[in-house]
Structure 1
Amino acid sequence: MSITDKNLGSKAIQWQAHQNSNSEVPENTMAAMNYAWNLGGIPEIDIRQTADGIIIGIHDATPKRTLSVPEADQDKLISELTFDQIQQWDAGVKFGEQFRNEKVPSLKQILAGLSEHSDRQLYLDFKQVDLEALAALIQEYGVARQIIFAHNNHENCKTVKRLVPEVRTMLWIPARFPETAVETFTHIRQTGFDSLNMVQLHLPDAEEKQSWRYKLQKTFIQEALQYLGEAGMELEVLPYKFDQEDLFELLDMGIRRYAVDEPSVFVELLNRYFN
């Protein structure tokens, strides 16, 4: 699917299928990857490393929340478990019976598939991996230009850019405390957005309902969009919740990159906006 901007020429909307709060498919599974790609989006995989050094897709430090794991193993750290151990557990059935027998994928498995489709992209959200091992794996499969590395630690983004310059890097900035988000953005702007290609701003709802839904002020988001555009970079936003009016307002502001928890709802609203 290619959704083209009706106001800004041929610039298309790009969107990330956010994983750990995705409401449509079980997170960090091949089902989730293919679901996003088939909808025209970019899946995200949260990456951790097992005791035997395999990089896998899982968000939490333990398997308890997402896997059908025996009680004795629920609170063990992923870094203490082997890949074979983790493969014994179901990664889909907790989400829904139709996803029974989904397994935690290795990053090798995902990158091998990615390498066969040059038009596809993938977000890697850093949780706990050796960055040199990650860089080597990306280079092994020749997919660096298809990868967006995401983290909230600027130093990790710098390291990945040094190891694999072709990888795009994105710093995500939470906004639970808007003042801190503004300070963080101001700081990275002062570095010249060193080693970054994108910045993602989280958009949680404001405590009190008002005309502008989100905690971060609209004027700040507009300024961030301007500063990044002048630097040849992109702004991505992660609205925790949105309805048609909210999304259309963000689109009207000129924002062309999103992260969403409800991909099918997002795509439906995009089609309304452009048609």
Structure 2
Amino acid sequence: MMTADRKGANQKVHWQAHQSTNTEVPENTLAAMRYAWELGGIPELDIRQTADGVIIGMHDATPKRTTDAPESQRDRPISECTFDEVQQWDAGIKFSEPYRGERVPSLAQIFSVLAQYPERELYLDFKEVDLEQMALLIKEYGIGRQIIFCHCDHENCKTVKRLAPEVRTMQWISDQTVDFRFQETRETGFDSLDIVQIHLVDDRADGGWRYRLQREFLQEALTHVNEAGLELEVLPFHFDQDSMFELLDMGIRRFAVDEPKVFVETIDRYFNR
């Protein structure tokens, strides 16, 4: 999304619809992908693989939380279900009636839509898939430059960069492990990475810096990442106008958010003050 700051200079803010925007649209559905794209963001698809080798969009290891899978299948691992079985489940009705009929999509189905819009991008959050098969599918659809692969394991990011060099890779780091994980990654020269994501969890009772991770550490991390020619992304699990303005004032321009509509409205207010 392009916006103009109060001095008139253009700024590009990139944002990820974390977990497919599950607060506003049923997660990991084609509806969620389109929703984020139309708002100017980048949807995230969590990826798993079925028993017959089809890569699908599914966050959890079982279909219980997000689909109407029958009782006999609710607690069955996705890795033990066939794609035909998965296609029988409704992935929208548990969210709300207007989304009745949404299905769990295959990665190929999402890619076929993405390939029609070269300006659009997609995050792939690794859960449990064959990375070589994923890379082959990316190459088949010719969308490598539109993909951001993300995982907490730096080694998986290295593997994907080797298999599909045109794909951007992002390592996400929780705020509880960031002290040593970030340093470990930095010592490799951020090998094979394009983006580093840091999670921000609430800590304050009232007033002041909102997050458990110290502001000074985040500012230093932003400096290191920028100096290496990468981007820093933050995932604030909660935010208000003051905390988001503070992150933007620090120079952060890439976010992952659970409330896209609220985020977009907040960004617009920031650049139009």
Instruction: Give TM-score scaled by structure 1 length.
Output: 0.96
Question: 1:256: how far off?
Answer: 0.0
Residue 125 of structure 1 aligns with which residue? 125
Q: Quote the Cα distance in structure 1 between the aligned partners of 2:179 and 2:4.
A: 30
Amino-acid identity (%): 63
Residue 73 of structure 1 aligns with which residue? 73
Alignment of 1:1-275 (within 5 A): 1-4=1-4, 9-19=9-19, 22-175=22-175, 177=176, 180-206=177-203, 208-275=205-272
Q: Quote the Cα distance in structure 2 between the aligned partners of 1:13 and 1:5.
A: 11
Give structure 2 stretches of 5+ with no counterpart.
Answer: none
Matched residue SS, 2:136: helix
Q: Quote the Cα distance in structure 2 between the aligned partners of 1:2 and 1:44.
A: 20
Question: 1:5: how far off?
Answer: 5.1
Are residues 168 and 28 of structure 1, via their aligned partners in 2, closer, same or farther at CA, if it must alter by over 3 Å?
A: same
Amino acid in the other structure paired with 2:119:
D
What is the CA deviation profile of residues 65-85 of structure 1, one whole-angstrom value per residue up to 9, with x for unaligned ones?
Answer: 000011111110000000110
Question: 1:181: how far off?
Answer: 1.1
Question: 1:209: how far off?
Answer: 4.1
Count of aligned positions: 272
Question: 1:11: how far off?
Answer: 3.8
What is the CA deviation profile of residues 190-216 of structure 1, one whole-angstrom value per residue up to 9, with x for unaligned ones?
Answer: 000000000000001116445111011
Are residues 101 and 66 of structure 1, via their aligned partners in 2, closer, same or farther at CA, if it must alter by over 3 Å?
A: same
Question: 1:9: how far off?
Answer: 4.4
Question: 1:8: how far off?
Answer: 9.8
Q: Quote the Cα distance in structure 2 between the aligned partners of 1:131 and 1:77.
A: 19
Q: Quote the Cα distance in structure 2 between the aligned partners of 1:31 and 1:20.
A: 9
Q: Quote the Cα distance in structure 1 between the aligned partners of 2:71 and 2:237.
A: 32
Instruction: Give TM-score scaled by structure 2 length.
Output: 0.97
What is the CA deviation profile of residues 157-176 of structure 1, one whole-angstrom value per residue up to 9, with x for unaligned ones?
Answer: 0000000001000000011x
Matched residue SS, 2:12: coil
Q: Quote the Cα distance in structure 2 between the aligned partners of 1:11 and 1:48.
A: 35
Matched residue SS, 2:95: coil
Q: Quote the Cα distance in structure 2 between the aligned partners of 1:157 and 1:27.
A: 24
Give structure 1 stretches of 5+ with no counterpart.
Answer: none
Question: 1:153: how far off?
Answer: 0.3
Question: 1:22: how far off?
Answer: 2.5
Q: Quote the Cα distance in structure 2 between the aligned partners of 1:8 and 1:238.
A: 27
